[in-house]
Structure 1
Amino acid sequence: MTTDHPRTPGPRPTGATIVWAERVTKTFTTPDGRELPVLDDIGFHLAEGEIVALLGKSGSGKSTLLRCIAGLIAPSSGTVAYRGEPLTGANPGVSMVFQSFALLPWLTVQQNVELGLHAQGVGEQERRERALKAIDLIGLDGFESAYPKELSGGMRQRVGFARALVVEPDALLMDEPFSALDVLTAENLRNELVGLWEGHEAPVKSILIVTHNIEEAVLLADRILVLAANPGRIQAELRVDLPRPRNRQDPHFESIVDTVYGILTGREDAAVAAVEPTTTGGAERPAPTPTSAPLPEVSVGGLAGLLEILVARGGEDGLAEIADELNFEIDDLLPLVDAAELLDLARTEGPRIRVTDAGREFAAADILTSKQLFAHHAASRAPLVRAIVQALAATDGHTLREGLFLDLLRRGFSAEDARRQLDIAIDWGRYAELFDYDSGDGELTLDPGAQDAL
């Protein structure tokens, strides 16, 4: 993204509220008539002069919240307002950048960029001038007549940015805008976006970005809202008081990343440190269920690999160090870490992860023994696996159709996520020789001796 205009760098003072949400709840209805809560009692605001990140795992409803703010969908209850006026349709003061680029393949770059202006009734000559200016701003001068198929992924996303910026919105909404790009292209676009924002060249007053990438949120945002999942709710809010461009090696940067990681992995002390204390009670937590403790989407081999790395490093290490060595983001390790903690094979302490005695035993075992150990941990500590084993054990013939479990899972998940949860459980159960699965008949059958693992 380039420009010939002089920069006037410096922090932007936050000003008037552009968008606010009050007690926003969103519930979808499944095909069988059940209610599926996605957002629960969300309240937040977006002000002039700030970048805010909505950060959360899958199932936290962050994209749904973004669409409520854009006015693309209405909340089930609560209010979303733009400049103090409750929305009754599309938000007139925002534009969006999507993960999938969302370009019309039969239109040229310039025609794609002009779409929003055409919808606003802007005349042909003004449309052309503003589109060419936006194309130049985002660094695609010379590609005005190209079609999307002729462009790389990074160039297509630049078109998406130009199309959003050309209408000069109050707020730019971005839904995982860099996640479909390769690492270098994504880093380049992030840096250029920061440059436009800091140079006051981007014709927007605020930015709201949805992401699952912790470092991306800390690199870009002035405030980070961390969403918990199932249903989505704001778990913590953190302010990032660092000058841009930000240095990943800065101890303050690393500290914020560690704090956010702690919140996302469920450590309450990290969440309490990031928000004002709330009323606490001494009541015991309810036992985890298949919907309150979903299975992380990992393979047993991947989990074993993480434990073997930890054992080789003396039993514990920092997550950032492990991620760097493997050329991953910390976020990529989260499902593996979640699975290891769920099965009590590892525990996290701040930004570090430590293998447990059970994890050491599992990592050192031969194949047969590792199966037996995994069977015990999965059947006793993974709620969905345990529920399947118990249901099969209580049934004559020890066989049940998958539809029973899918129906139960759809009480807390979408149909797609319910299927995904059951598939993970089937993979774990097959490896552990707890139960078998016939994909043709859609039946699960208990393996002999599986009840001994409970």
Structure 2
Amino acid sequence: MKNNNTKNTGARAKNSIPVHHIPLVAETSVITVSGLHKHFTAPGGDRLPVLENIDFTLREGEIVALLGRSGSGKSTLLRHVAGLLAPSSGTVHYRGRPVEGPNPGTAMLFQSFALMPWLTVQQNVELGLQARGVEPVARRERAVAAIDMVGLDGFENAYPKELSGGMRQRVGFARALVVEPDVLLMDEPFSALDVLTAQTLRNELLALLTHPESPTRTALLVTHSIEEAVQLADRILVLGTDPGTIQVELRVDLPRPRNRHTRGFEALVEDAYESLTGERAELPPTAGTHDPLRAATPLPQADVEQLTGLLEELDERGGEVELAVVSDALSYELDDLMPLVEAAELLGYARVETGKLRLSGTGRGFARADILTRKHLFAGAVLANVPLIATIRTLLMASDGGRLREQYVTDRLRASCPEHGSRQQLGTAITWGRYAELYEYDARDGVLLLPREDRGAGSQR
């Protein structure tokens, strides 16, 4: 077992928080990175700097998050700690010894699960033990215990294709923890999961890492999500880009478990955002208990032109038709049709009852309108029924110059859906908002803009 000597850290702890709820961190250094530089050589011979002058220490019992934009070198730094990459200069030490190959004190947890599809759950979990030469009987016993620990008892003989995404990542947890590493290295392990599964697994992983009997109580986490970093970490290292450098270190002296309703949580989120972007994040007018950028109804991935075709087809068939008939008429698989149906329902254009799709009066008016009138009607429908689009429009109207960073919206969306989900949500919102002429989008700079005729009103706030 590890040394559990701890000390109280932070003013908040002294004032009001029970000591046993404070992140407990020993002073023993497990990982030390000193003066690390990394560059790669392009095919033309040019030197491409990725990391520059990285210095940090990971102490025993501590969870540290590496937070930064894409291209800041977070994953590259993680691989240096794992011993999978060698620095161009500088050093990585594990418990005082230089890391000159795969680091024996670490285990890696990946975003993509990285399971062998031809192996069972138990066989996947045993892989690391097998590589370390653990004999078969002990290997099986330890694998079964790890599988039970992550809640997959009964699935030992299942194959990855039989498991949900959350269950597959639990296998990843078991495979990493079964070797009892000193340090768990995590590369965006929750970003491929839906919001509820990700939240459940975060809580369960945190419980495993902070349990006093756990052999693994130290972790280094790579994440794009500011809220995930604040929820899990004792410290956050914010990396800049071109090349990656540590810009700011933030201490997270909040009680666990913690979420955005925990006192001080939002302030740390804003501090991290400012450190990451150089600008203070302006909260939406409705921020607090209800933030439309976080709690909005998920947008179906539906193309406006295809939605228009669906409504026209419904109108031509008398305004009511069975879903299977519409699917055949439009040559759509039913699964491909459903996002359009969901969009029609969300916007109030149609509803599904007893297997039939019925056109509403609003939907009939849209289907029969000319192009310019359709845009006007669509704008009214999305502003009334899609909080995400309405909030983007409100923020644009309230901003100086009628501009809103795409990154700001995706950062807040990540609180309620994984990264790929937040990109899809914003992509749909951008497409619908542009069609309705509520805002424009500059893909090169990643900026949402009010239409030119509205910018005067937006900039006079």
Q: Which range, TM-score by smaller chain?
A: 0.5 to 0.7
Contact kept? 2:225, 2:414, Cα under 8 Å: no
Contact kept? 2:190, 2:418, Cα under 8 Å: no
Distance apart, 1:142 and its partner CA? 0.4
Q: Residue 153 of structure 1 is aligned with which of 165, 169, 186?
A: 165
Distance apart, 1:47 and its partner CA? 0.7
Match of 2:123 in 1: 111
Contact kept? 1:307, 1:360, Cα under 8 Å: no
Q: Pick which of 31-40 and 127-136 moved more.
A: 31-40
Q: Distance in 2 between matches of 1:47 and 1:325?
A: 28
Task: Kindly name which structure, 1 or 2, has the bigger radius of gyration based on alpha carbons.
Answer: 2
Flag the 1:307–1:142 CA change in 2: closer, same or farther, 3 A. closer
Q: Distance in 2 between matches of 1:309 and 1:322?
A: 18
Q: Residue 454 of structure 2 is aligned with which of 358, 364, 375?
A: 364
| TM-score normalised per structure 2 | 0.61
Flag the 1:330–1:264 CA change in 2: closer, same or farther, 3 A. farther
Contact kept? 2:192, 2:419, Cα under 8 Å: no
Q: Residue 58 of structure 1 is aligned with which of 67, 70, 84?
A: 70
Flag the 1:119–1:35 CA change in 2: closer, same or farther, 3 A. same
Flag the 1:24–1:343 CA change in 2: closer, same or farther, 3 A. closer
Match of 1:216 in 2: 228
Q: Residue 12 of structure 1 is aligned with which of 16, 20, 24?
A: 24
Q: Residue 187 of structure 1 is aligned with which of 175, 199, 204?
A: 199
Q: How does 1:5-404 map to 2 (within 5 A)?
A: 11-267=23-279, 308-311=393-396, 323=412, 362=452, 364=454
Flag the 1:305–1:79 CA change in 2: closer, same or farther, 3 A. farther
Q: Distance in 2 between matches of 1:18 and 1:325?
A: 31
Q: Distance in 1 between matches of 2:414 and 2:81?
A: 39
Secondary structure in structure 2 of the residue aligned to 1:114: helix
Contact kept? 2:235, 2:249, Cα under 8 Å: yes
Q: Distance in 2 between matches of 1:61 and 1:76?
A: 14
Distance apart, 1:14 and its partner CA? 1.6
Flag the 1:311–1:211 CA change in 2: closer, same or farther, 3 A. closer
Secondary structure in structure 2 of the residue aligned to 1:75: coil
Q: Pick which of 81-90 and 198-207 moved more.
A: 198-207
Distance apart, 1:35 and its partner CA? 1.2
Query: Superposition RMSD on alpha carbons, in Å?
Result: 3.6
Distance apart, 1:203 and its partner CA? 2.5
Secondary structure in structure 1 of the residue aligned to 2:264: helix
Distance apart, 1:307 and its partner CA? 6.0
Contact kept? 2:191, 2:419, Cα under 8 Å: no
Contact kept? 2:192, 2:418, Cα under 8 Å: no
Describe the superposition over 1:111-167 as per-residue Cα deviations: whole angstroms up to 9, x where unpaired: 110111111111111101110110000010000011111111111110011000000
Distance apart, 1:361 and its partner CA? 6.1
Secondary structure in structure 2 of the residue aligned to 1:129: helix
Q: Distance in 2 between matches of 1:325 and 1:167?
A: 31
Match of 2:306 in 1: none
Distance apart, 1:364 and its partner CA? 2.1
Match of 2:15 in 1: none
Distance apart, 1:193 and its partner CA? 1.2
Secondary structure in structure 2 of the residue aligned to 1:104: coil
Distance apart, 1:327 and its partner CA? 5.8
Q: Distance in 2 between matches of 1:157 and 1:345?
A: 34
Secondary structure in structure 2 of the residue aligned to 1:243: coil
Contact kept? 2:183, 2:220, Cα under 8 Å: yes
Flag the 1:155–1:361 CA change in 2: closer, same or farther, 3 A. closer
Distance apart, 1:21 and its partner CA? 0.5
| Unaligned 5+ runs, structure 1 | 1-8, 270-303, 347-358, 366-454
Flag the 1:253–1:320 CA change in 2: closer, same or farther, 3 A. farther
Q: Distance in 2 between matches of 1:73 and 1:345?
A: 35
Secondary structure in structure 1 of the residue aligned to 2:134: coil
Q: How does 1:430-441 map to 2 (within 5 A)?
A: none
Secondary structure in structure 1 of the residue aligned to 2:112: coil
Q: Distance in 2 between matches of 1:158 and 1:35?
A: 40
Contact kept? 1:17, 1:45, Cα under 8 Å: yes
Contact kept? 2:210, 2:217, Cα under 8 Å: no
Q: Distance in 2 between matches of 1:118 and 1:325?
A: 37
Contact kept? 2:31, 2:59, Cα under 8 Å: yes
Distance apart, 1:206 and its partner CA? 0.4
AA in 2 matched with 1:364: D
Distance apart, 1:200 and its partner CA? 2.8
Q: Distance in 2 between matches of 1:240 and 1:83?
A: 24
Q: Distance in 1 between matches of 2:181 and 2:146?
A: 13
Match of 2:299 in 1: none
| Unaligned 5+ runs, structure 2 | 1-19, 282-388, 431-440, 456-461
Distance apart, 1:205 and its partner CA? 3.0
Secondary structure in structure 1 of the residue aligned to 2:216: coil
AA in 2 matched with 1:308: R
Q: Distance in 1 between matches of 2:178 and 2:210?
A: 18
Runs of 4+ more than 4 Å apart: 304-307, 311-336, 342-346
| TM-score normalised per structure 1 | 0.62
Match of 1:370 in 2: none
AA in 1 matched with 2:185: L
Flag the 1:166–1:328 CA change in 2: closer, same or farther, 3 A. closer
